[in-house]
Structure formats: structure tokens, C-alpha cells
Structure 1
Amino acid sequence: MEAAPTGQRSSHQSVEKGRSRHKIPRHVETDIAYLYEVLPQLSRIFRIIDKIGEGTFSTVYLAEAQMTDGSRRMFALKHLIPTSHPVRIAAELQCLTVAGGTENVMGVTYCFRKEHHVVIVMPYMEHQTFVDIVGSLSFEDVKHYIFHLLKALRHIHKFGIIHRDIKPTNFLFNQQRREYTLVDFGLAQGTPDTQIELLKELLGLDKAPRSVFGEKNINGTNSHKPGTDKVEGLLLKTKREEVIPRKIVSSKHRSVPVRTPLNQKPKPPTVSPMLTCNCFMTDRVCNVCLSRKQQVAPRAGTPGFRAPEVLTKCPNQGTAIDMWSAGVILLSLLSGRYPFFKASDDLIALTQIMTIRGSRETKEAAKTFGKSIVCSRELPRLDLRILCETLRGLRSWDDTSLPAEFQASRNPAEVKQDAGSPTKKRMSSGSPRSIAELQEMGWDKVPDNAYDLLDKLLDLNPATRITASTALQHPLFKDMTD
């Protein structure tokens, strides 16, 4: 995933104050000096203040420039890694220039290039870090937040842009000013009818696996750590004959060694229909499942926000994957828990989704996009209101039948408190809130419409998942002007 065009600090004033109190780390000074060296023209316009973001594909700096009218403005300078494909860089710029600058979507001010070094200059937006404010937002704040996120998605989807990395750190939020900006189109792809010409080229370019664009394969055997394949009470595995076993199973269920001539490379043995993996009908995901043959399909994005069709490597992915990610954000906002989903592997991530949305529903939805899932335990679909109100502290844990996965995720400080006193419950993230405080913030009056929208955003079937345009017409937003 790429670094966002702004950093973790809420404003450039705080950056300047920080510089006056302590010196910038030496390695940051070295990086700034290097940027000046590879792009000398920057020094004639910008005073680079600090490094404010760093990701796999880029590094972002905060810089100040004096304008022609004498005023000084802050900018975010996004330095792309030199190995980025030229078409990928140009496509990101085209997304920013064609669709950016309006409807809560970040625009571009300028672009510098020298040889293989590229810096994209964008306006700097003061914002708060999502993890610091998710527990302090009122329901009214949440409604405005998701409304403006949907506006941004509707806008880019009109251009045939699939963002592919929707998450809170890519949707900047200034709580005081109620300003919002969608950033980071470094992983964007186009729909078949996209209006962004360079995204059409990426449709063909991204079909071939490229390490510079992809992510580390966390399903491979090298990345698997002992002890991480256990999932409480759950098993997921694809019902495709993709696993390459160490032995071939004969008709008499005996292990038969595979012999290969010395001058011939061994061929992967075929899989017998009778062969099952080591974890079938057990409460874990085994190494065989985790090391299954990889399918070629787009799976960009951030763990925890990937849609079911991305997790199962469905080759046909559209703007619906952005809507699922928006649904995960709304789930965090309504429950006060961030991040909501956190898994190291796509299969485990799918089990977490099934825990919320139900195993039968997940299997049925997977069939619609050509995937078959086997689950050794039936999981009921949860009531989203009960789930969110319990996690936020409006319901007692003893009064609900939430799965053990959620019981185990409670804050240890909460468990030690009086279980019968709901006023002492602690939210999953953020500062402790009493029932009175939650009521004052409007959390006891969340309408059914909010959970109806959440249900439609988290539709397991991408074909029927609500679109951004339709979502903005939802009754939840009837008192808001578009």
C-alpha cells in the first residue's frame, strides 16, 4: 500500500512547533538532503520541513512555498520510488488531474521529474488521525463522514476509477472544519469503460504479476509462521484442487512415493479427489491450505478492507470493492472498534467476514462469482445493531450471544470491571465512555437506517452491493444536501 499524501500530524503548525522543540531525526534530514540532490529544482521553490509518510511505493514530505502574492502555503510532496512503472505513475497523475480537485477528491498542483525520480505536489490538508478520534465522534459526525466518503466514491466511479485502497488513512478528515479528501490513487485500476485513458493500459499491464505493483505474498510458505494457522472454531479452504501434496494417494489409500528420472525435472503430482488437506474438519487453517497454488487476480489494497471477491481472487473486480471497504469503515465508526478486521492471511480474513455475515451466506455469495468455499462449522449471521452496540458499550456482554472471537477481543481493563455495570464498559478503541456520554453523543438513538445502509455496503455479493450513487439517496441522508 502507498503512503498517504499527508502525514500523521494534524497541521503544519504542529510540525513547526515540533521542530522548534527538538531536532528532526538524522535519517530524515538525510532523506530530505537526498531529495534535494536528485531533484535540485525543488530547492528553488520549496522548503521541505519533514517526512510525514512512508510506504512501499512512495515517501511523502511536508513542504512550504512562498506564493506570488507573498503568502506562504503548505504542500505535500509525494516522492515515488524510482522503480515504479512509468504507466503507473502517469495513470495516478491522470486520475488526480481528471477527477481530482472537487467532490472531496484530492487534486494535483504540479509534478517534478528528473530522470527516474518523480515528485507529485499536492495541497496539504490539516487532518486528525482516524485512530485518535474514532472513539470521540458523535453519530452525527459519523453520518457526515460516511456521506462525504460516498460522494468521493460516486465521483471517481463516474470516471471508471476503482480506487482499490479505500481506508481511513486515505480519506483525510478535519473534524473542526468538516473537510474531507480522498487521496492516494497509486493502486487505482480502471473499469472496462473507464474515462482515464492510462488506466486502460493498466488493465493489460496488471494482468502480468509484477513485484513492484503487487504486495508481498502472505499466503506463501516462506511467510507462514508456526502457530499462526490456528483460527478459533473455524476452518476455511478453497474447494479447488489447487494444493500440491507431497504424496500421491492410491486407490487403497496408501502413500505411494513419486519416482523421477535423474535427467528429468519432477512434475507436480495430480491431486486425487479422495485427498483432503491436513486441516479439513479441524479448527485450524493448515500449512497446505496456506501454501496452495496462487491464482493470478488483482488483490491490491490493505488487509482488513479487502472485499470477499478480492480475498477469493475473483478475476472480475469492479467498483463494488470500494463500496465494501466503505462498509468496513462504517462498521468501525458504528462499533467504535478500529481496525475491525485484522488478519495476516486472506483465508483467515475470510473467516472473520463469515463470523459477521454468516457461513451459509458467504458460500452462496461466492458461488455467484465462481468460487466454492467449504466451512466445517456453520456460523450464523449476526445482527449488526447488537454487534455494534455491544462493542461500543451500550449493551452488556452478558446479554448477548456474540461469538468467542469478539469476547476474546475485549479490552483486559474492561473484563476486570464489574460485568453487571454497563456504565463502566470500555469501547474497543478510544477513551472510556460512560452510558451518559454515549447518549449525549447520540449513540443511543442510532436509527435502523444506519444499520440498513451498513448491511447493503457489506453485501457479500458484489453484483447486488449498493453503489455510491444509490447509497447517497439512502433514507439515512434524507436531511443532508448533496
Structure 2
Amino acid sequence: MEAAPTGQRSSHQSVEKGRSRHKIPRDVETDIAYLYEVLPQLSRIFRIIDKIGEGTFSTVYLAEAQMTDGSRRMFALKHLIPTSHPVRIAAELQCLTVAGGTENVMGVTYCFRKEHHVVIVMPYMEHQTFVDIVGSLSFEDVKHYIFHLLKALRHIHKFGIIHRDIKPTNFLFNQQRREYTLVDFGLAQGTPDTQIELLKELLGVDKAPRSVFGEKNINGTNSHKPGTDKVEGLLLKTKREEVIPRKIVSSKHRSVPVRAPLNQKPKPPAVSPMLTCNCFMTDRVCNICLSRKQQVAPRAGTPGFRAPEVLTKCPNQGTAIDMWSAGVILLSLLSGRYPFFKASDDLIALTQIMTIRGSRETKEAAKTFGKSIVCSRDLPRLDLRILCETLRGLRSWDDASLPAEFQASRNPAEVKQDAGSPAKKRMSSGSLRSIAELQEMGWDKAPDDVYDLLDKLLDLNPVTRITASKALQHPLFKDMTT
């Protein structure tokens, strides 16, 4: 418990002051009481102050502890859901233990466990919410932010760790002190040569089949009985009645969905294995396509930050998916728009990527990892500098000639000013700052290097996408120590 990193020790004073200004909601008080109940040993060490984060697989609390030297320090307590897979929990802990505590990667201080309840204790880092500061960062702030994110990625990738959920909420940032920390390895996977032993076990566990549009989530299997530490046989095989959707297509191509009888699988069509489908570029799905076996591939991560190879279910995924996510973050930082991509499903997400990177380029890249993409219309590749400067407010919308997809995201105040105000007085729809303010923040002097790095991070081909090590050697960071 004495291993809290330097710089974290005095944060509790300002945090406590802020927390005391508002009453903790009753539901949070109930959750805290429950945590004390299932893990009584916590009450002997920590005073849990508030709930500061909640996700699908865990809840994070802010807590204070009195150290042996009399000082008080703040900690983050991550309570993993009781249904979490034991190997997944152990793998996350091993990532934090082996790779954490240095190079902008969160470390672990202690771990509590009682039966199937697990709490990971980590140093608390006071930080700002990304959505609140994305439009107020200077260019130098952005440069330092992406530099330190790349340092964290280089470090974990050396250990063969694929984070799989790189996003701003998992990269904590203290703007005043310029401190950065990569957190949450709950979805991490290993490369074939990973140094994290338990990630090697997950390579087998993570191959459990799932539905086409379902998240790849071994955390959702309630297969660990209290007091049982065996890994084998943890995934439950549940029987369920299958409902097979089919379509009856009329001569007018109007399809009516019908259902096959329960527990009755349709017979596969008697066709030659070499026969291609006959529904290509039509509004129906043929029996050949319906009979094809679903391809299983990792899809963990957050919508809006998934790489093209993840969206197209490419089975061979590596550390390049983290680099794509870093590119999306940089795109938000340069444009002042967060979230930049927001889609309800993978196909819409892929379409949004094509809007930026071009449909022809996306289709060509997909071929390199064995996928075929069909697009109803050609979408040109956009100039990243023009796109970002227009969205931030440094360029006129009329001069940029951006697609209609981006016109819908313009701020009403900016549209109103377009009618009678000169371009130099327009406000950025992302940050609502004047041209003079943007110039003062250094945005008018952003070099081409930063857009070149963005282009390399958003390389549609994972094979040629820039690595973290190479990115840190980019001319953009020539004056910074790696």
C-alpha cells in the first residue's frame, strides 16, 4: 500500500473538497454499502467516498486510506462484476503487475478477493473529463497528449499486450500537471508471442462462439462457482431453441420474413462448393449465404474506435487495432469533435470511415485481409487537414467542400453567422472559439507533420499501419524525448 506513484499523494485534498460540495446519491450509497458487505476487509482500510466510473464489467470507486506514516492517500477501487471469468480477472491483474506502474501505464497496489468478488486497488489519478477539455486544448497540449499515449502503447505492445479498448476515458489526463495514465485492461488480449502468460490462456478461452452482432465477452458467462479455482470447463454450454430467419422472395423482390419451426434446422442447399451466391447486389439473401458458417473473430472494444479489420471480423488482429484507436483520438483532438465517429452498428461505422478515408481505399485495404466490401456509391478520400481545420473553425465551410454528412454537424450559431459575418469571426462548432483564440492556442501553426502522423495512424491496412515505436520517431516529436 506504500507503492503509490509520486504525484498522486496530494490529490485527495482537492478531490475531497469537490466531493463535499454535493450529497452522494442514495443509489451510490447503497452500492457502497453492498461493497462493504461483500468485502468486509475493505472497511478496515478504506473510506469509500464516491462512485467515479461504471462499465459493463466493473464499477470504480474513489476511496481514501490512512497510511502507516500518518498521511492520507486516494485510491481507485475497481470492483469486477461477480460473473467475470477468473482467467480474465487474473490476466488483467497480470497486465497491471508486469507492465504497469511505468511509462504512463497504470499499476496495481493491492487486490482483495472473497469468494467471487474481486476488487483491484490502484493509485487514484485526478484527471479531467475528455469531453470537457477537447475543444480547449492548445496544439502543444494535443502534441504532448498523443505523444504520451503512444509511449504507453509502445510499452504494452513490447509485452505482447493488445489493449483492445483504447479511448479517451481509458487514458486519464491531468492537463495542469501534464500527467497521463492508461487504464482498464479488462478486454486485453495477447499477441502470439505475448509475455503475459495468462493472456496465452485467453487465446483459447476467447474462441468461444457467439452471435454475429454480439460483443465478444467472456465476462458475461456466470460459470465460476464460489470456491472453485479450476479454469477448465468454465464456459457454460446453454441449450436454446433456435429460430432460423428465412425469406420468401416474390417476383417483385419483396421479401417477407418467416420463421422455421422451433428446434428444426433447415437443410443446406445442395449446391456445388464452387458455386458463388446469386444475391450479390440484390435486396435479398440467398440460401447459399444463409447456409454459410459464421466467422468468429474478436470484436471487443468501444463503438467509434474499432479498426476496419475489427468491423469486418478479420480473424487475425494485432496491436495495430490499438494504433487505429489512437488515430481516432487524434482525429478528435485536431478537429475538436468528440466523439468523432458514432454509429449504431458495424456497417454504419464502416461507412463513416469510408466517408473520411474513401470507399475505393477501404475496399482495397479490405482485400489485403481477405474481406470484400461493396459500396453503393463512390466516396472520395478527404484531405485530413482541410477536414480538421474546417471542423475546428479555421476554414470556411464554403471553401472546404465537405460532404453533406459533415454539414449536419455544424453548430447553429456558426450557421447563423455564415449569413452575414466574415470568416475570421466564425466560431468553431467543436470548441466555440474565435479565430483569434485559435491562433493564440497555436492552431493556425499546426505543422503538416501532425496530419501526416494522423494519416499513418488511420491507415486502413493493419499491415502497413504505423507502430507505436515508429510513431514516436515521427518528425512531429523531434524535439521530445522518447
The alpha-carbon distance between structure 1 residues 392 and 281, as it changes in their structure 2 partners (threshold 3 A), is farther
RMSD: 9.0
SS for the counterpart of 2:51 is: strand
Q: Tell me if structure 2 keeps the 8 A contact 1:49–1:64.
A: yes
The alpha-carbon distance between structure 1 residues 465 and 259, as it changes in their structure 2 partners (threshold 3 A), is closer
1:325 equivalent to 2:325? Answer yes
Q: Tell me if structure 2 keeps the 8 A contact 1:244–1:268.
A: no
The alpha-carbon distance between structure 1 residues 212 and 404, as it changes in their structure 2 partners (threshold 3 A), is closer
The alpha-carbon distance between structure 1 residues 258 and 471, as it changes in their structure 2 partners (threshold 3 A), is closer
The alpha-carbon distance between structure 1 residues 294 and 180, as it changes in their structure 2 partners (threshold 3 A), is same
For 1:346-373, what per-residue CA distance to the aligned partner results, in whole angstroms no more than 9, with x for missing partners?
A: 0000000000000000000000001000
SS for the counterpart of 2:237 is: strand
User: Which moves more between the two structures, 180-189 or 220-229?
Assistant: 220-229
Query: 2:442 is matched with which residue?
Result: 442
For 1:40-78, what per-residue CA distance to the aligned partner results, in whole angstroms no more than 9, with x for missing partners?
A: 111111011111111110010000001111110000000
The alpha-carbon distance between structure 1 residues 212 and 3, as it changes in their structure 2 partners (threshold 3 A), is farther
Question: How far apart, CA to CA, are the structure 2 residues paired with 1:324 and 1:252?
Answer: 43
Q: Tell me if structure 1 keeps the 8 A contact 2:359–2:378.
A: yes
User: Which moves more between the two structures, 340-349 or 270-279?
Assistant: 270-279
Q: Tell me if structure 1 keeps the 8 A contact 2:244–2:265.
A: no
Question: How far apart, CA to CA, are the structure 1 residues paired with 2:4 and 2:302?
Answer: 13
The alpha-carbon distance between structure 1 residues 234 and 277, as it changes in their structure 2 partners (threshold 3 A), is farther
Query: 2:367 is matched with which residue?
Result: 367
Question: How far apart, CA to CA, are the structure 1 residues paired with 2:237 and 2:91?
Answer: 36
Q: How does 1:7-406 map to 2 (within 5 A)?
A: 12-13=12-13, 15-209=15-209, 215=215, 246-247=246-247, 265-267=265-267, 295-406=295-406
The alpha-carbon distance between structure 1 residues 349 and 284, as it changes in their structure 2 partners (threshold 3 A), is farther
Shift of 1:460: 0.1
Shift of 1:266: 3.6
Shift of 1:413: 2.3
SS for the counterpart of 1:202 is: helix
Shift of 1:390: 0.3
Length-normalised TM-score, structure 2: 0.84
Q: Tell me if structure 1 keeps the 8 A contact 2:173–2:181.
A: yes
Length-normalised TM-score, structure 1: 0.84
SS for the counterpart of 2:194 is: coil
For 1:423-482, what per-residue CA distance to the aligned partner results, in whole angstroms no more than 9, with x for missing partners?
A: 577666654211111111110011111110000000000000000000000000001111
Q: Tell me if structure 2 keeps the 8 A contact 1:396–1:422.
A: no
Shift of 1:230: 48
Q: Tell me if structure 2 keeps the 8 A contact 1:160–1:191.
A: yes
Shift of 1:302: 0.4
Q: Tell me if structure 2 keeps the 8 A contact 1:304–1:343.
A: yes
For 1:65-124, what per-residue CA distance to the aligned partner results, in whole angstroms no more than 9, with x for missing partners?
A: 011111100000000000101000000000000000000000000000010000000000
Shift of 1:179: 0.5
The alpha-carbon distance between structure 1 residues 231 and 345, as it changes in their structure 2 partners (threshold 3 A), is farther
SS for the counterpart of 1:318 is: coil
Shift of 1:16: 2.6
For 1:187-209, what per-residue CA distance to the aligned partner results, in whole angstroms no more than 9, with x for missing partners?
A: 00000000000000000100004
Shift of 1:255: 9.2
Q: Tell me if structure 2 keeps the 8 A contact 1:396–1:419.
A: no
SS for the counterpart of 2:363 is: helix
Q: Tell me if structure 2 keeps the 8 A contact 1:11–1:127.
A: no
SS for the counterpart of 2:222 is: helix
Shift of 1:27: 1.0
The alpha-carbon distance between structure 1 residues 102 and 219, as it changes in their structure 2 partners (threshold 3 A), is closer
For 1:325-382, what per-residue CA distance to the aligned partner results, in whole angstroms no more than 9, with x for missing partners?
A: 0000000011111100000100000000000000000000000001000001011100
Query: 2:474 is matched with which residue?
Result: 474
Q: Tell me if structure 1 keeps the 8 A contact 2:166–2:305.
A: yes
Question: How far apart, CA to CA, are the structure 2 residues paired with 1:396 and 1:214?
Answer: 42
User: Which moves more between the two structures, 406-415 or 189-198?
Assistant: 406-415
Q: Tell me if structure 1 keeps the 8 A contact 2:47–2:63.
A: yes
Count matched residues.
482
SS for the counterpart of 2:5 is: coil
Shift of 1:22: 3.4
Shift of 1:251: 11
The alpha-carbon distance between structure 1 residues 109 and 393, as it changes in their structure 2 partners (threshold 3 A), is same
The alpha-carbon distance between structure 1 residues 432 and 91, as it changes in their structure 2 partners (threshold 3 A), is same
Shift of 1:283: 12
Q: Tell me if structure 1 keeps the 8 A contact 2:241–2:263.
A: no
The alpha-carbon distance between structure 1 residues 293 and 7, as it changes in their structure 2 partners (threshold 3 A), is farther
User: Which moves more between the two structures, 417-426 or 390-399?
Assistant: 417-426
* Uncovered stretches (5+) of structure 2, i.e. residues with no partner: none
User: Which moves more between the two structures, 454-463 or 236-245?
Assistant: 236-245
Shift of 1:263: 10
The alpha-carbon distance between structure 1 residues 222 and 426, as it changes in their structure 2 partners (threshold 3 A), is farther
Shift of 1:277: 12
Question: How far apart, CA to CA, are the structure 2 residues paired with 1:51 and 1:299?
Answer: 28
For 1:275-294, what per-residue CA distance to the aligned partner results, in whole angstroms no more than 9, with x for missing partners?
A: 99999879999999999985
* Uncovered stretches (5+) of structure 1, i.e. residues with no partner: none
User: Which moves more between the two structures, 23-32 or 369-378?
Assistant: 23-32
SS for the counterpart of 2:418 is: coil
Q: Tell me if structure 2 keeps the 8 A contact 1:418–1:424.
A: no
Shift of 1:18: 4.5
Question: How far apart, CA to CA, are the structure 2 residues paired with 1:385 and 1:170?
Answer: 26
Q: Tell me if structure 1 keeps the 8 A contact 2:57–2:219.
A: no
* Identity score, percent: 97
Q: Tell me if structure 2 keeps the 8 A contact 1:229–1:286.
A: no
Q: Tell me if structure 2 keeps the 8 A contact 1:2–1:55.
A: no
The alpha-carbon distance between structure 1 residues 147 and 46, as it changes in their structure 2 partners (threshold 3 A), is same
Shift of 1:411: 1.6
The alpha-carbon distance between structure 1 residues 237 and 49, as it changes in their structure 2 partners (threshold 3 A), is closer
Shift of 1:271: 9.6
